[in-house]
Amino acid sequence: MKTLFRSFLVSMLKESFFLLSFYNTYYYVKNKKKFWKEINRRKAMSIFEYKELVKPIPFCPIETIKDSNFYGQAYALKQYAGVDKFDWSIEHGLYVDDYVPMAARCKTTKRIMTFSDIRVKGLESVHKPVVSIGPYIHYAECMVDHEEMELLKRELGRTLLFFPTHTCCEGGLEYKVHSMIDELLKFKKQHGFDTVIVNMYYLDEYKKGVGDLYAKAGFKVTTAGHQLDINFLNRLKTIISLADYTCSNSIGTHTGYCIYLNKPHLIINPAQTLDEVEPLWHDLWKAFESNSPQAQIKQQILSHKYWGFDCVKSKEEMRSLLLNNK
* Per-residue pLDDT tens over the stretch 51-107: 999 999 999 999 999 999 999 999 999 999 999 989 999 999 899 999 998 889 999
Average pLDDT over residues 249-273: 94
Round to whole Å and give the CA distance between 216 and 202: 18
Round to whole Å and give the CA distance between 304 and 57: 34
For the chain, what is the radius of gyration of the CA atoms?
20
| The three-state (H, E, C) secondary structure of 248-287, written as one string | ECCCCHHHHHHHHCCCCEEECCCCCCCCCCCHHHHHHHHH
Round to whole Å and give the CA distance between 153 and 151: 5
Q: Is the pLDDT of residue 135 over 70?
A: yes
Structural domains in the chain, sorted by start:
146-307 (3.40.50)
Q: Is the pLDDT of residue 168 over 70?
A: no
SS3 label, residue 326 = coil
Q: Percent of the chain scored above 90 by pLDDT? A: 82
296 class by beta-carbon count within 10 Å (0-12 exposed, 13-18 middle, 19+ buried): middle
pTM score of the predicted model:
0.94
Residue-level pLDDT at 16? 86
Nearest Cα residue to 101 out of 11, 26, 196: 11
Round to whole Å and give the CA distance between 139 and 310: 14
192 class by beta-carbon count within 10 Å (0-12 exposed, 13-18 middle, 19+ buried): exposed
User: Cα torsion at 8, 14, 18, 24 (round to 10°)?
Assistant: 100
Average pLDDT over residues 156-182: 82
* Per-residue pLDDT tens over the stretch 9-18: 777 878 888 8
Residue-level pLDDT at 4? 67
Q: Is the pLDDT of residue 325 over 70?
A: no
Residue-level pLDDT at 221? 98
Round to whole Å and give the CA distance between 317 and 315: 6
Residue-level pLDDT at 263? 98
Q: Is the pLDDT of residue 170 over 70?
A: no
Residues 6+ apart with CB under 8 A from 144: 152, 238
